[in-house]
């Protein structure tokens, strides 16, 4: 097992009081496994990943029974120890490659700097060849001339490939990809997904892949975790979540995808909005939007998780199978 998270909670101290954005999150990730994380905006996908990178802002309060990555207790690391993990053992790519790259420096400058940071003490004559290899690995044609480009000279897809090259330059065991294809058009999206899968298999890497689009998630993931209001409400193998889902929220997410419309003339969307985390409803957090909700759903503060051979859901009235 590469990553073990038990009862992770993340709260924020704000002027109007403290609120819990992520609560009692537990999940595990194996070596070579791709975990897809899906959920609407504000469900806590990004802050969970920031906690795994030690990058949450100061006002965040993190508690957990266990947060162990590759045998290291992440809860006990100081900044110096984080710098050994970040970038090197855990790489990260974000939604908008153009804003993550520095517009003032060439691809070569930025990639070489990433290599230098991630391989301390590397002889300088090895850096450029390694940079060329990395660009070739992420499928950039004519890497020698692309190396001298500034970010504005690259397309969005090429820029994301450069970001991936930088993120894997330290041979991380885990790559966190937070909506890495959202800013790209559909054909480029597919190419990047394919590339990530190839690199993952070639390098024996694990990936946490975040998206609000279950379609995208299902193309790359082995395991899928559905988040709602800072909680995992359903998790299981890709097949279970896509074909055998039990939670009404997962059902809603799947039916709001284009091509999955219940009413062919109109795209379905889940009624209502994600609750205000500063003023959470009682009981199941999804109950106010759920068509199957009963009184118990609104009142029960301890909704048990049902576990069917690793396929888990937190729901009193799951869909029948």
Ligand X SMILES: Nc1ncnc2c1ncn2[C@@H]1O[C@H](COP(=O)(O)OP(=O)(O)OP(=O)(O)O)[C@@H](O)[C@H]1O
Q: Could you give the 3-state DSSP secondary structure of residue 48? A: helix
Q: Considering beta carbons, is residue 46 or 218 the nearer one to ligand X?
A: 46
Measured from the CB of residue 43, what is the shortest distance to ligand X in angstroms? Answer: 4
Q: Whose CB is nearest to Mg ion?
A: 46
Binding segment toward ligand X, per CB under 6 A, in 35-43, 79-87, 115-123, 261-269: 35-43
Measured from the CB of residue 127, what is the shortest distance to ligand X in angstroms? Answer: 34
Q: Is 47 in the site for ligand X (CB under 6 A)?
A: yes
Can you tell me which of 3, 5, 8, 21 binds ligand X, judged by CB under 6 A? 21
Q: Considering beta carbons, is residue 12 or 109 the nearer one to ligand X?
A: 12
Can you tell me which of 4, 9, 12, 119 binds ligand X, judged by CB under 6 A? 12
Report the C-alpha gap between 168 and 166 in whole angstroms.
6
Can you tell me which of 36, 44, 151, 236 binds ligand X, judged by CB under 6 A? 44
User: Which among ligand X, Mg ion, none contacts residue 21 (Cβ within 5 to 8 A by kind)?
Assistant: ligand X
Can you tell me which of 64, 214, 254, 277 binds ligand X, judged by CB under 6 A? 277
Can you tell me which of 17, 57, 71, 121 binds ligand X, judged by CB under 6 A? 57
- Please list every residue from 201 through 230 that binds Mg ion, using CB under 5 A: none
Convert the chain into a string of H (helix), E (strand) and C (coil): CCEEEEEEEEEEEECCEEEEEEEEEEEEECCCCEEEEECCCCCCHHHHHHHHHCCCCCCEEEECCEEEECCEEHHHCCHHHHHHHECCCEEEECCCHHHHCCCCCCHHHHHHHHHHHHCCCCCHHHHHHHHHHHHHHCCCCCHHHHCCCCHHHCCHHHHHHHHHHHHCCCCCCEEEEECCCCCCCHHHHHHHHHHHHHHHHHHCCEEEEEECCHHHHHHHCCEEEEEECCEEEEEEEHHHHHHCCCCHHHHHHHHCCCCCCCECCECCCCCCCCCCHHHCCCCCCCHHHCCCCCHHHHHCCCCCEEEECCEEEECCCCCCC
Can you tell me which of 43, 111, 158, 214 binds ligand X, judged by CB under 6 A? 43
Q: Which of 86, 48, 87, 49 is nearest to 165 (CA)?
A: 87
Measured from the CB of residue 201, what is the shortest distance to ligand X in angstroms? Answer: 27
Binding segment toward ligand X, per CB under 6 A, in 45-53, 96-104, 188-196, 241-249: 45-53
Report the C-alpha gap between 245 and 136 in whole angstroms.
39
- Please list every residue from 212 through 251 that binds ligand X, using CB under 6 A: 212
- Please list every residue from 25 through 84 that binds Mg ion, using CB under 5 A: 46
Q: Considering beta carbons, is residue 14 or 102 the nearer one to ligand X?
A: 14
Q: Considering beta carbons, is residue 47 or 159 the nearer one to Mg ion?
A: 47
Q: Which residues bind ligand X (CB under 6 A)?
A: 12, 14, 21, 39, 41-47, 57, 59, 212, 277
Interface residues with Mg ion (CB under 5 A)?
A: 46
């Amino acid at each position: 097992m590469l990553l073990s998270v038990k009862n992770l909670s993340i709260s924020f101290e704000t002027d109007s009081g403290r609120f819990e954005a992520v609560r009692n999150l537990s999940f595990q990730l194996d070596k070579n496994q791709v975990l897809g994380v899906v959920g609407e905006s504000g469900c806590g996908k990004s802050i969970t990943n920031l906690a795994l990178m030690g990058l949450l802002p100061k006002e965040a309060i993190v508690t957990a029974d266990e947060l162990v990555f590759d045998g290291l207790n992440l809860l006990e690391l100081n900044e110096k120890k984080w710098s050994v993990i970040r970038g090197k053992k855990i790489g990260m790519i974000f939604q908008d490659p153009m804003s993550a790259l520095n517009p003032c420096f060439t691809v070569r400058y930025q990639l070489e700097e990433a290599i230098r940071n991630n391989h301390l003490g590397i002889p300088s004559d090895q850096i450029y060849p390694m940079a060329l290899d990395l660009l070739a690995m992420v499928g950039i044609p004519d890497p020698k001339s692309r190396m001298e480009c500034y970010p504005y000279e690259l397309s969005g897809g090429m820029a994301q490939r450069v970001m991936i090259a930088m993120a894997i330059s330290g041979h991380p065991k885990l790559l966190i990809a937070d909506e890495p294809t959202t800013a790209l058009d559909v054909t480029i999206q597919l190419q990047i997904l394919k590339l990530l899968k190839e690199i993952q298999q070639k390098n024996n890497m694990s990936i946490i892949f975040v998206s609000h689009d279950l379609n995208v998630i299902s193309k790359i993931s082995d395991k899928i975790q559905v988040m709602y209001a800072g909680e995992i409400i359903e998790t299981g193998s890709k097949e279970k979540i896509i074909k055998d889902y039990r939670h009404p929220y997962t059902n809603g997410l799947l039916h709001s995808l284009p091509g999955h419309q219940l009413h062919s003339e109109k795209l379905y969307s889940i009624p209502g909005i994600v609750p205000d985390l500063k003023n959470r409803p009682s009981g199941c957090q999804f109950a106010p939007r759920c068509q199957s909700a009963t009184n118990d759903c609104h009142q029960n503060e301890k909704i048990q998780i049902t576990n069917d051979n690793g396929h888990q859901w937190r729901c009193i009235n799951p869909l029948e199978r």
